[in-house]
Amino acid sequence: MKPLDTLDVQLLQLVMSEPKAGVREYSRRLGIARATAQSRLDKMVEAGVIRSFAPHIDLAKVGFPLSAYIHLTLRQVDFDKVIARVGTIPYVTQADSMAGAEDLTCRVVARDHEHLETISLGLMRIEGVERIRTDIVLRHRIPHRLSQLIREL
């Protein structure tokens, strides 16, 4: 995909700030044809710029008020096997390969501290995991955000 132009950026800003408004409303606000707005959105989806239209869910409100980062040190030869196994754990909401002391950082959610311990022990039992370190999130201070980056475009 070619670099985003001003119209693409404006459309992205609308989608991010008002995801339920819909293509017709986006086109009305931007003063463009509905087909133009849809075509631009389709191109951004196809190029991977927009990865999802899924809602953001407050996991605390649905029974998972505790979140933590669990850092794993792995035997390098087992890396892919460990990733595959970690991917089957429903409480792992994200996992990233890291440069540094640990090899993999998993963001996890739990019902309470006992549940978090169960998740941690489960990760520790995976063949290829040598060591774990857990950091419990006390409070989310700055939520995951992207709009400030889009404004920079």
Same domain? 27 vs 75: no
Helical pair 34-46 and 6-17, crossing angle rounded to 10 deg = 90
Same domain? 67 vs 132: yes
Measure the CA–CA gap between 47 and 14, rounded to whole angstroms.
19
Residue 78 lies in a domain: yes
Q: Which pLDDT band, with edges at 50, 70 and 90, does 52 fall under? A: confident
| pLDDT at site 1 | 67
| pLDDT at site 153 | 79
Same domain? 63 vs 42: no
**13-26 pLDDT, tens per residue?**
999 888 899 999 99
Q: Are the beta carbons of 86 and 92 closer than 8 angstroms?
A: yes
**54-107 pLDDT, tens per residue?**
888 899 999 999 999 999 999 999 999 999 999 999 999 999 999 999 999 999
| pLDDT at site 53 | 85
**Domain CATH for 79:** 3.30.70.920
| pLDDT at site 13 | 92
